Structure 1
Amino acid sequence: MSTPGGRAFRLHLPHGLVLDGWVTADGQAVAIEDADLGLTAAAASLEDLARGYGGAHIQWAPPTQHHPAPPAQQGEPR
Structure 2
Amino acid sequence: MSDEFNLADRLPEGVVPVSFVASVKVLHANGDVGLFHLNHETMMPWEAVGILTSHIDDLRDHMRNGYVEYDSGDDDASAL
**TM-score interval, normalised by the smaller of the two chains:** under 0.3
**Which structure carries more strand by proportion?**
1
Structure number with greater Rg is 1
TM-score of the two chains, using structure 1 as the length reference: 0.25
